[in-house]
């Protein structure tokens, strides 16, 4: 019989503790939790409180308050509170748009290398989906691409950079791309590995979108920033979109999710169609 289960304390999050966690996650990641998210915070932080051997959220709060700003515990706190839901080929129409509109025009720009940034890459399904589409489009052409995949959450970055996924995911990946997956055998029969043709083109790195000044200027031809703006307040969405604009190359495309919009924010991006924006006014693609 496991006595630890019986010894586990009943943990309830007080309003004050919730407000502390809510403020800290907003300050550190821009994630703007509504007052209704008490249960979410309680369930996400409970495991950390138990792991640390603490007996209440208040003790965890006091523990965080004693930490230096750069203490690793703050990273673990952020990792617990991010929502990492993602899917292979999510919002598939974006991939069709790329192949049918954006890439044919980009090819005419005379550039030989497509520089892509996936700014909230989660566990990697999004940058690898992109990588498969681009690898297939560019094969047999004298063109190359690279993808920078970033996220604030170090756990998902580690998972993504491993490039290993359960075999059941095959059903979610269109068959023309199965050649970019190595199937496991023997002990690893239930797993798939992203093959080097795609994996070698993708680099995973930590980057916080709330950073004051992004380290890139005029660099990315294509930016995927999907299902992350939804967690930010309007001020932060504007900041992120303007920094992305600075990071983008002339004629670059920005893809956000269909549930997100920059329409009412008067940003520098030009609207192309719902969830697709362009740097520059002329509608070349």
Ligand X SMILES: C[S@@+](CC[C@H](N)C(=O)[O-])C[C@H]1O[C@@H](n2cnc3c(N)ncnc32)[C@H](O)[C@@H]1O
Stretch that binds ligand X, among 6-14, 162-170, 224-232, 277-285 (CB under 6 A): 224-232
How many Å apart are CA 103 and CA 108, to the nearest integer? 9
Is 151 a residue of the active site? Answer: yes
Closest separation between CB of residue 209 and ligand X, Å?
A: 4
Q: Please tell me whether residue 30 binds ligand X under the rule CB under 6 A.
A: yes
Annotated catalytic residue within 17, 48, 61, 151: 151
What single-letter DSSP state applies at residue 159?
H
Among 77, 231, 269, 285, binds ligand X (CB under 6 A): 231
Q: Per CB under 6 A, does 85 bind ligand X? A: yes
* Stretch binding ligand X (CB under 6 A), from 57-65, 83-91, 136-144, 160-168: 83-91
Number of C-beta neighbours around residue 103 at 10 A = 21
What span, in angstroms and rounded, lies between the C-alpha atoms of 49 and 44? 10
CA–CA distance, 63 with 124 (Å, rounded to integer)? 32
Under rule CB under 6 A, residue 153 binds ligand X: yes
**125-159: buried (b, 16+ CB within 10 Å) or exposed (e) per residue?**
bbbbbbbbbbbbbbeeeebebebbbbbbbebbbeb
Sign of CA dihedral 145, 151, 154, 157: negative
Does 152 help bind ligand X (rule: CB under 6 A)?
A: yes
Q: Which member of 41, 97, 151, 243 binds ligand X (CB under 6 A)?
A: 151
10, exposed or middle or buried, with CB in 10 Å at 0-12, 13-18, 19+? exposed
Phi, psi of 112 (to 5 degrees): -110, -15
Contact residue for ligand X among 25, 31, 237, 256 (CB under 6 A): 31
Q: Which of 83, 109, 146, 261 binds ligand X (CB under 6 A)?
A: 83
- 192 makes contact with ligand X (CB under 6 A): no
Note the residues at the interface with ligand X (CB under 6 A).
Answer: 29-31, 82-87, 90, 120, 122, 126, 151-153, 156, 208-210, 226-228, 231
Report the catalytic residues. Answer: 44, 151
């Amino acid at each position: 019989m496991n006595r630890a289960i019986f010894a586990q304390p009943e943990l309830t999050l007080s309003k004050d503790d919730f407000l502390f966690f809510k403020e800290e996650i907003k300050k550190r990641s821009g994630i703007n939790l509504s007052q209704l998210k008490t249960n979410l915070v309680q369930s996400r932080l409970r495991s950390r409180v138990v792991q640390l051997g603490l007996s209440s959220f208040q003790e965890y709060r006091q523990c965080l308050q004693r930490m230096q700003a750069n203490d690793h515990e703050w990273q673990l706190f952020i990792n617990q509170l991010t929502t990492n839901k993602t899917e292979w080929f999510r919002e598939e129409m974006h991939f069709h748009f790329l192949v049918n509109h954006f890439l044919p025009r980009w090819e005419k720009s005379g550039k030989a290398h497509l520089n892509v940034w996936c700014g909230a890459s989660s566990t990697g399904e999004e940058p690898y989906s992109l990588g498969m589409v681009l690898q297939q489009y560019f094969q047999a052409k004298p063109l190359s691409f690279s993808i920078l995949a970033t996220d604030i959450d170090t756990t998902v970055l580690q998972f993504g950079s491993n490039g290993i996924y359960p075999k059941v995911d095959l059903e979610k990946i269109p068959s023309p791309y199965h050649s970019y997956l190595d199937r496991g055998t023997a002990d690893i029969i239930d797993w798939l590995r992203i093959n080097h043709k795609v994996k070698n083109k993708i680099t995973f790195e930590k980057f916080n979108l709330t950073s004051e000044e992004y380290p890139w200027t005029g660099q990315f031809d294509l930016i995927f920033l999907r299902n992350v703006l939804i967690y930010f307040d309007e001020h932060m969405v504007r900041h992120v979109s303007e920094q992305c604009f600075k990071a983008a190359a002339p004629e670059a495309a920005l893809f956000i999710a269909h549930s997100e919009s920059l329409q009412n924010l008067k940003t520098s991006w030009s609207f192309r169609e719902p969830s697709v924006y362009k740097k520059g006014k002329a509608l070349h693609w």
